[in-house]
Structure 1
């Protein structure tokens, strides 16, 4: 037995996948929408930051490493957002093909 396993706490900033007792399932849809909105906002912020740091690098005001880190972070966020969007579209298409 793993010591302390009964004392596991929910990790801050994470969402439950299953509805909590007494919580309507509609609220879970809102939580998903909030998560997607937060993802989009984070991606946009990282893209804007990468653009600003890149411009600073062109002016000689930012180190090359800072520029590379910002651009790679933005690229990673954008790829994750695109992958999630693709999964959502695929799920929608699968649902739309279901026979009623």
Structure 2
């Protein structure tokens, strides 16, 4: 697998996700959630195939790394949302 192509593809996806949208980001958020779910489903499928001998170990490691990155991203976004909410609560009225 070409790592440079993968990096370029992820960069293009991130650049498109960071662009402002007229609907306030609802479409981007829904798309990100769908991408997260598809990453988890792909990882599960690859894991099951690896257990039954249908996938090579490299595919399993790659799927697990993508899943780990997706989970870390979701946790980071969640932490930022909680932090922003706490800052709003601290504002004087």
Give the TM-score of the pair, scaled to structure 2.
Answer: 0.74
Higher RCO by CA contacts (8 Å cutoff, separation 6 or greater): 1
Question: Does the residue aligned with 1:31 lie in a helix, a strand or coil?
Answer: coil
In structure 2, the partner of 1:85 is: 78
- Distance in structure 2 (CA, Å) of the matches to 1:71 and 1:43: 13
In structure 2, the partner of 1:56 is: 49
4+ residue runs of structure 1 moved beyond 3 angstroms? Answer: none
CA shift digits 1:42-88 (9 cap, x unpaired): 11110111011000000000000001101110110111011011101
Q: Give the CA RMSD over aligned residues.
A: 1.9
Instruction: Please list every run of 5 or more consecutive structure 1 residues that lacks an aligned counterpart in the other structure.
Output: 1-10, 20-26
After TM superposition, give the deviation of residue 31 of structure 1 in Å.
3.0
Instruction: Please list every run of 5 or more consecutive structure 2 residues that lacks an aligned counterpart in the other structure.
Output: 1-11
Q: Structure 1 residues 53 and 44, CA, compared in 2 at 3 Å: closer, same or farther?
A: same
Higher helix share: 2
Give the TM-score of the pair, scaled to structure 1.
Answer: 0.69
| CA radius of gyration, larger in | 1
- Distance in structure 2 (CA, Å) of the matches to 1:35 and 1:88: 16
